[in-house]
Structure 1
Amino acid sequence: MCGGDATYRPNVGIALFDVRGRVLIARRTSDDGPEVIAAGFEWQMPQGGVEPGEDIEAAARRELAEETGVTSTVLIGMLPEQLSYDWPPYHGPPHRLDRWRGQRQSWLAFRFTGTDQDIDLSHAAPGEPPEFDLWRWERLERLPDLVVPYKRAIYARLAAEFAVFAARRA
């Protein structure tokens, strides 16, 4: 169970924009301990933990490659401060994430320079199953309505802060 005095897990989130200004979202395949995925709200942008001593941009690129196979990117922006969210109450079995109360995220925006064929959700960290089973390009402003309720405030903030990158390009 998550303790009330627990800290936040260091995390990166990745907003990957295509040439049309849409952002990549993917459908989670299952809960991950306290990170519960509610039915109908399985979609999210790639995100993942930051290893001790790891550079934020390097962590974002690693997570993006592990979760989506994407490596063809250009960094186009980063939020100046971190955003945090708390997980909903967790009463399940002991889990690697249950020592934290939620996640503190650094959000980076990348422009995708590859092709849709480069996106491969079968990639995963060594020994881990893939986190996603479907992906699509979506309008940034729609994301708050597609994610689990406990992440909506962050996604609304991202929709406002990263709107400049969502401007149509092609």
Structure 2
Amino acid sequence: METPPDGYRRNVGICLVNSSKKIFTALRINISDTWQMPQGGAGEGEDLLTAAMRELREETGVTSAEFVAEAPYWLTYDFPPQTRERLSRRWGTNYKGQTQKWFLFKFTGKEDEINLLGDGSETPEFKDWAWLLPERVLELAVDFKKPVYEQVMKVFGPYLQADADEDSAAQNETEAEVYVESTPV
């Protein structure tokens, strides 16, 4: 496996898709209008697939997910200066940004399993969530993460294509029809 670059926080990203090939995306609590896919740090020596499943459970409560694919390389982004400064104080480090190994999972549970309070082991990070088309995920991503999200969509693109036998109306669902749930925190 490729070695992640030095100076970056080792991290995993999770692209969770439902049966309609829409992607789980959540609205951050502490950053205004910031939607993202689940992600989180991986400990030194921690198996990355195990870290991805742990982060998914911690952030969303989801345990009903089937591993589909892993990105073949690390995807890296730099923090903007203000973000870097804030995170340096919080983490006690001076990472340039994050380097991520991305995993694709298929959600196999029922939506009532999704709980933005997570498994209770960590402080909640999200206040709303939605199943979104890949294009919408890219539109809502914070600017400094967009290049990574574009690569995630490219790598997992073959898995994100709607099945040929699906109703075309479902493929063209508008943003107004997207299901969003709020969870009090």
TM range (shorter): 0.7 to 0.9
Q: Which residue of 2 aligns with 1:150?
A: 144
The reply to whether residue 99 of structure 1 matches residue 91 of structure 2 is no
Q: Decide which structure has the larger Cα Rg and report it.
A: 2
The Cα shift of 1:81 comes to 0.2
The reply to whether residue 137 of structure 1 matches residue 117 of structure 2 is no
Q: Which residue of 1 aligns with 2:175?
A: none
Q: How far apart are the structure 2 equivalents of 1:65 and 1:132?
A: 13
The reply to whether residue 25 of structure 1 matches residue 25 of structure 2 is yes
The Cα shift of 1:98 comes to 4.4
Residue 144 of structure 1 contacts residue 153 of structure 1 at CA under 8 Å; is this kept in 2? no
The Cα shift of 1:97 comes to 6.1
* Matching residue's letter, 2:24: L
Say if 1:72 and 1:130 are closer, same or farther in 2 by CA, change over 3 A. same
Q: What is the correspondence of 1:19-168 to structure 2 with a 5 Å cutoff?
A: 19-30=19-30, 37=31, 39-40=32-33, 42-90=34-82, 91-92=85-86, 94-96=89-91, 98-123=93-118, 126=121, 128-168=122-162
Structure 2 alignment gaps of length 5 or more = 1-5, 167-185
Give me the TM-score of the superposition, normalised by structure 1.
Answer: 0.85
Residue 144 of structure 1 contacts residue 156 of structure 1 at CA under 8 Å; is this kept in 2? yes
Q: More helix per residue: 1 or 2?
A: 2
Report Cα offsets for 1:65-112 as digits up to 9, x if no partner.
000000111111111000000100034482216421110000000011
Residue 141 of structure 1 contacts residue 156 of structure 1 at CA under 8 Å; is this kept in 2? no
Number of residues of Structure 1 aligned to a counterpart in Structure 2: 156
Residue 17 of structure 1 contacts residue 165 of structure 1 at CA under 8 Å; is this kept in 2? no
Higher relative contact order (CA 8 A, sep 6+): 1
Question: Stretches of 4+ moved more than 4 A in 1?
Answer: none
* Matching residue's letter, 1:100: Y
Q: Partner of 2:91: helix, strand, or coil?
A: coil
Q: How far apart are the structure 1 equivalents of 2:41 and 2:150?
A: 21
Q: How far apart are the structure 1 equivalents of 2:92 and 2:136?
A: 28
CA RMSD, aligned part only?
A: 1.8
Say if 1:97 and 1:69 are closer, same or farther in 2 by CA, change over 3 A. farther
Residue 143 of structure 1 contacts residue 159 of structure 1 at CA under 8 Å; is this kept in 2? no
Q: How far apart are the structure 1 equivalents of 2:99 and 2:89?
A: 21
* Matching residue's letter, 1:28: R
Q: How far apart are the structure 2 equivalents of 1:105 and 1:10?
A: 6
Structure 1 alignment gaps of length 5 or more = 1-5, 31-36
Give me the TM-score of the superposition, normalised by structure 2.
Answer: 0.78
